[in-house]
Structure 1
């Protein structure tokens, strides 16, 4: 049985087109869904996957330039030794770091919202969760942007090439202490996570493999005057190493090549891809089928994704309309459906924290668990409040105690100090006339059917439809914009809207 058999053309319709755009992009408007349906499955998948070669060349934020960190640190140290007010200089440096990470979050969210290559951004987010790295430890916006750029340039390319690039990524090197790895005193953090979380998974390596890999990755350093990777050849361990049945003076790239050739690696990546794009609990059969195709394509992601998005399994009843939207999917997709702009960076940053997915600050090296963990009583309540804020501009509830208790990176510490906070959270109500036609305002059944197609894409149960119709009936003869906005908020304050 071919687990990745293509979806029959007869089953390509508005619902399957919407499903593809929800999962491979950050959602779509009814007009975009209609356009995708008309193009056909093959053409739409090709458009998503076969992006232009220069699509990864995304202009960075204006501030994202390397600086001489060593010189800055030495200047602060010298000021301290001279008895000068070095604390103010250090404070200004921290303020700058906070401004940069806040702006970096804005920059990437706008890419998700407006990129002409949306799958490239979705895959960049996938790899961000896979190679999880947090600014809380890295403490530098440029290094976080640089890693993001590396992920984007390799997002649809070769997996082995990406892993090698990440092994030389300064943010990852700091996060997993790779730059502290010495021949005399090996640091095993990177070597362990490389196997456990990035390539083959638990149970597919030994402690001896970790020790040998740590030796292989000696000599990896960061030039603090340019913020770039450098290889210190004289600090490399050139001795013989035994790693997964291979013996010799192995280096880091040799270790990665050996890991990628392990059957466990393709299965590990295929499971994560299916969980991210399709369903939380993939069967072993589908994992093995995707792993086989990944190996057949020599770990090139583009053809593997093309087969996934074209397969009937991707559009099965188990998959369609069953995935809980991640907080980032929720923020971007909701803004798209409301045909409105993203809120201010401070508001979005707070929303990410409250809902449990902060860009550039995953909870740990495992990344985000996702799935059902996205929804708790507090995060669901915040989603409803956030939807109301997007729709009507009404102030949201303050951060809960749990959210305030979490450690904060520089982006949050800086934003708390801003006196303009009240001004920045102001928001005008949305223009509902963009998707609520005047002739349908006094026709509850027809209006609910129209808006249900926009916000849910799948047919509602009669009870759900009646709830919305009865709301409109109770407001007659009021068909004002305010009433329409209340209806939209009612629709978004449902469990069904949390699913993609």
Structure 2
């Protein structure tokens, strides 16, 4: 690379005339509701008739073909195994629990990168985080993929249905100890988190409410390991284990005289899902995820009203959020978290992954990239879910790890092609035989950031390769031969790439 040239005076960088860019509100909408705007995604948006039309179509996932993402479970055999087979394999030493957990994490990462149903993947992530079950090797892992697919299938439905399917799922029953909760010995964990985290929130219920909540949920069982007995891991409802007698949780009361308490659970969940404090909680979390950290009280109140007026249906709430002036003004206010960063790098670089053939395959090692940045999917250790605000992801260690990720992938150094990943040829990033360096930088910004390069970014890129902005880059120029990965890395390192 040549030594830096002498400054030739300040001149406005020249732009590159590439494909039309999504602008303003269109770009903002697609950026917030995808894992990264790519040229391919922008083409889909234009073909759909604009960002809002694309977004509306995304709300009906069956209308969006997604065959490639749908075949991903075949890449990891553990994803198709029954809980009983996974447990038996684990006990025989053929499969470790963490290996099964990691296979599900890899599957979800690749869905987020390659799925055409970007809004569905984001909303599935949102609900799996809100109704968090950590993948920490505990026995709930046996049901974790089934739990995730249950969430995905309900992600655009009513919160009442999402909540009921989540808290009665074997994964949740095992994770929060309701699997062995009986009338004689009610376990309070699920009953408490249902109130504290999933619905009305801390401070809006009493300890007596927790006890009564636990009683309502008795009877939902999973046959887990007890002593030396071999478990079947079958999920069932056992009326004999249900605690009978009148119950009261806040304003919810019921005589609770039926030994089969499943309908009682449904009525109780409906009460909680329709509670005004739950409405505010869900509205607040949607604003934190998709709008900004300092959630507008007025916007939260409006979204909560829409939620209640539509019987806890989520799509009307999302429509109201997207149509709000607060959302329109929120561009550039959200930062990608550690997992979103890895997904966005793969998407924007256009890296194509191949079916894994061993532990070192790129489809497997992608998980360690998220670990190095600070958070693998579903590894937040508490039931409250990972933070939705910016501050935890704006640390020096996160930035250093991100810079390392950008450098490794921009140059195709790790994972490598031999590990089953196909990168774009570096020469393919140069759009014509000869062009100015500032035009090349602008073109790369359009490809990676879906926006024109700022003067600051042009200056940084030119400094990185050691040439002035008006340097002519032809086929034999050192920048074209050796410097493209440096330019790509510089753009990925920019503040603009860290924003959602």
Classify the TM-score, shorter chain: 0.7 to 0.9
Q: Look up the SS of the partner of 2:93 in the other structure.
A: helix
Structure 2 CA distance, aligned partners of 1:195 and 1:123? 22
Structure 2 CA distance, aligned partners of 1:333 and 1:52? 24
1:164 Cα offset (Å): 0.7
Structure 2 CA distance, aligned partners of 1:274 and 1:303? 14
Structure 2 CA distance, aligned partners of 1:340 and 1:160? 39
1:232 Cα offset (Å): 0.6
Aligned residue among 37, 49, 53 for 1:28: 37
Structure 1 CA distance, aligned partners of 2:65 and 2:314? 16
Q: 2:399 aligned with 1:380, yes or no? A: yes
Q: Is the 8 A contact 2:348 2:448 kept in 1?
A: yes
1:480 Cα offset (Å): 2.4
Structure 2 CA distance, aligned partners of 1:187 and 1:69? 28
Spell out the pairing of 1:73-472 with structure 2 (5 A cutoff): 90=91, 92-95=93-96, 97-139=97-139, 141-223=141-223, 227-250=233-256, 251-316=264-329, 319-342=330-353, 344-370=362-388, 371-394=390-413, 430-440=424-434, 442-458=435-451, 460-472=453-465
Structure 2 CA distance, aligned partners of 1:222 and 1:24? 37
1:235 Cα offset (Å): 0.7
Q: Look up the SS of the partner of 1:247 in the other structure.
A: strand
Structure 1 CA distance, aligned partners of 2:137 and 2:464? 50
1:223 Cα offset (Å): 4.2
Q: Is the 8 A contact 2:216 2:265 kept in 1?
A: yes
RMSD (CA atoms): 2.9
1:137 Cα offset (Å): 4.8
Q: Is the 8 A contact 2:352 2:422 kept in 1?
A: no
Q: How many residues align?
A: 445
Q: Is the 8 A contact 1:308 1:314 kept in 2?
A: yes
Structure 1 CA distance, aligned partners of 2:120 and 2:410? 29
Q: Is the 8 A contact 1:183 1:235 kept in 2?
A: yes
Q: Look up the SS of the partner of 2:201 in the other structure.
A: coil
**1:318-362 CA distance string (max 9 Å, x none):** x21221112222112211111112571442211222222212322
Structure 1 CA distance, aligned partners of 2:211 and 2:63? 39
Q: Is the 8 A contact 2:37 2:449 kept in 1?
A: no
C-alpha distance 355-249 of structure 1, shift in aligned 2 (>3 A): farther
C-alpha distance 189-309 of structure 1, shift in aligned 2 (>3 A): same
Q: 2:53 aligned with 1:43, yes or no? A: yes
User: Larger helix proportion, structure 1 or 2?
Assistant: 1
C-alpha distance 56-157 of structure 1, shift in aligned 2 (>3 A): farther
Aligned to 1:402: none
Structure 1 CA distance, aligned partners of 2:322 and 2:283? 13
1:72 Cα offset (Å): 3.7
C-alpha distance 383-345 of structure 1, shift in aligned 2 (>3 A): same
C-alpha distance 156-185 of structure 1, shift in aligned 2 (>3 A): same
1:109 Cα offset (Å): 1.6
Q: Look up the SS of the partner of 1:255 in the other structure.
A: helix
Aligned to 1:19: 28
Q: Is the 8 A contact 2:33 2:119 kept in 1?
A: yes
Structure 2 CA distance, aligned partners of 1:35 and 1:252? 43
Structure 1 CA distance, aligned partners of 2:343 and 2:88? 37
1:113 Cα offset (Å): 1.7
Structure 2 CA distance, aligned partners of 1:33 and 1:71? 44
C-alpha distance 69-239 of structure 1, shift in aligned 2 (>3 A): farther
C-alpha distance 433-156 of structure 1, shift in aligned 2 (>3 A): farther
Q: Is the 8 A contact 2:129 2:385 kept in 1?
A: yes
1:473 Cα offset (Å): 5.2
Structure 1 CA distance, aligned partners of 2:149 and 2:245? 34
Q: TM-score, normalised by structure 2?
A: 0.81
Q: Is the 8 A contact 2:212 2:248 kept in 1?
A: yes
Q: Which moved more, 1:176-185 or 1:233-242?
A: 176-185
1:152 Cα offset (Å): 0.3
1:90 Cα offset (Å): 3.5
Aligned residue among 63, 66, 71 for 2:82: 66
1:141 Cα offset (Å): 4.5
1:445 Cα offset (Å): 1.8
1:162 Cα offset (Å): 1.0
